[in-house]
């Protein structure tokens, strides 16, 4: 579910993509209403989703931290049949494309990552980008029942340079939390957090992705952010 947004790299600025923000729910208030996150993920994998987004953040330019802004589109294409790590799977490619302006210069931005899900239950199996091949140590299964205020660890990914899985890059721990709706008719907020560690188990990046999900299990992107030593990137759905 674009669980590991770090791989969405802004090629011209060396930034990493992720998610944050959102509205229409209450982070503090627990809720007794039940939502089916597993079904929501299954629908998103099958149908995809898209949004116009604004881009902002900080990037190092010649050693100087410099602000940037931009705009573009976020697209998760409907899944197609594939294989991953020797297993029949569904693959879904996420693309962020647009333009970014910093220090008076404008450059195109385009990057993508492909996520893989089990064909049987849409458990998350792993993710592939041009520079990384990540495999779930055990498939990440999304809960069928969540309520506002609930949270948990979905699992851990092993990070490699490619599909041979001979060179380790470290691990990534994925967790979720749920924000209660502001009223009975509003969607909940679903926050997916990925903490990325190198081979020395040092935290090198934190990514947070925020979605909203209705009572009929329809997921939409709310906003996004990533932070590492190269800079930060914020993506907000318009």
Domain count, the chain: 1
pLDDT of res. 32: 52
**Residue scoring higher pLDDT (101 or 19):** 101
Query: Which secondary structure element, helix H or strand E, spans residue 62, and what is its range?
Result: none
pLDDT of res. 121: 86
Exposure class string for 109-125: b at 16+ Cβ within 10 A, else e: bebbbbbbbbbeebbbb
- How far apart CA 66 and CA 123 sit, in angstroms, is 39
pLDDT of res. 40: 93
Residue with tokens 């953040």: 57
Q: What does pTM read for this prediction?
A: 0.84
Question: Has residue 11 got a pLDDT over 80?
Answer: no
**DSSP alpha helix (H) spans, the chain:** 37-47
- How far apart CA 181 and CA 201 sit, in angstroms, is 36
Give the largest Cα separation in the chain, rounded.
Answer: 51
Q: Please, which residues bridge with residue 100 across strands?
A: 70, 107
pLDDT of res. 2: 40
Q: Which structural domain, as residue segments, surrounds residue 124?
A: 5-237
């Amino acid at each position: 579910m674009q669980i590991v947004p770090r791989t969405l790299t802004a090629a011209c600025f060396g930034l990493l993509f992720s998610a944050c923000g959102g509205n229409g729910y209450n982070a503090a208030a627990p809720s007794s209403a039940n939502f089916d996150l597993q079904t929501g993920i299954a629908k998103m994998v099958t149908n995809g989703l898209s949004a116009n987004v604004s881009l902002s953040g900080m990037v190092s330019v010649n050693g100087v931290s410099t602000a940037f802004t931009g705009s573009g589109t976020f697209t998760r294409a409907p899944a197609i049949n594939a294989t991953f790590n020797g297993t029949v799977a569904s693959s879904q490619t996420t693309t962020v494309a647009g333009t970014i302006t910093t220090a008076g210069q404008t450059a195109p931005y385009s990057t993508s990552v492909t996520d893989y899900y089990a064909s049987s239950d849409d458990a998350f199996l792993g993710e592939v980008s041009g520079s990384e091949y990540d495999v779930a140590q055990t498939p990440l299964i999304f809960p069928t029942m969540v309520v506002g205020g609930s949270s948990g660890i979905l699992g851990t990914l092993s990070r490699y340079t490619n599909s041979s899985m001979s060179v380790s890059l470290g691990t990534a721990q994925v967790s979720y939390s749920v924000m209660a709706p502001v009223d009975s008719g509003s969607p909940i907020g679903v926050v997916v957090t990925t903490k990325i560690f190198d081979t020395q188990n040092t935290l090198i990046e934190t990514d947070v992705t925020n979605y909203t999900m209705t009572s009929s299990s329809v997921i939409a992107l709310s906003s996004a952010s990533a932070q590492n030593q190269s800079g930060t990137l914020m993506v907000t759905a318009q």
